[in-house]
Amino acid sequence: MSIYDKLKSMNISLSKPDAPAAVFLPYVQIGNLLFVSGHIAKKQGRPWAGKVGREIGREEAVLAARSVAIDLLNTMHAATGDLERVKSMVKLLVLVNSDISFTEQHIVANGASEFLIEVFGDAGKHARSAFGVAQIPLGSCVEIELIAELR
């Protein structure tokens, strides 16, 4: 099954990615590596704001991380013209806007990781880091950047 068929079966349609909100490129390709800039979690087009472990529970944050992964695919599609060009996911960096007592950033990151594996199969498996941070732009609960290898 193609990646686009898989997304369709999940009721996910890709859209044009949002323009960056600051001075940076949404992606840079160096050789066969695609570096995708950090994307923040959004809900209904607005930042999905709040501290995980305070205003936002773990399960909601997992959904937020999944939504970021979908937005990352929008940017990857814009960058490549065809997600079938993705040979493998290399690395995710997941930042979680966490209450100081919250220690399950790795579980939140699973929302993105599991989605990418569901869409890309073994090619979606990746190295990953997940950190709790004091704040993310616009108060968003999750930000994720990605590195992928292209064919």
Q: Is the pLDDT of residue 49 over 90?
A: yes
Tell whether 46 is covered by a domain. Answer: yes
Distance, in Å, from the CA atom of 3 to the CA atom of 94, rounded to the nearest integer, reads 23
Tell whether 49 is covered by a domain. Answer: yes
- Count of domains forming the chain: 1
Contact 26, 75 (CB under 8 A): yes
Contact 72, 39 (CB under 8 A): yes
Tell whether 18 is covered by a domain. Answer: no
Q: Sorting pLDDT into bands at 50, 70 and 90, what band is 64? A: very high
Q: Is the pLDDT of residue 20 over 90?
A: no
Domain limits for position 33:
3-13+24-150
- What sign for the dihedral angle of Cα 146, 34, 12, 118? negative
Q: Is the pLDDT of residue 90 over 90?
A: yes
Q: Burial level of 32, CB count in 10 A (0-12/13-18/19+)?
A: exposed
Distance, in Å, from the CA atom of 124 to the CA atom of 4, rounded to the nearest integer, reads 14
Query: Which CATH number is 46's domain given?
Result: 3.30.1330.40
145: tokens are 């950047």
Q: DSSP class of residue 81?
A: S
Per-residue pLDDT of 103-145, as tens digits, reads 999 999 999 999 999 999 999 999 999 999 999 999 999 999 9
| Mean pLDDT estimate for the chain | 97
What percent of the chain has a predicted confidence (pLDDT) above 90?
Answer: 93
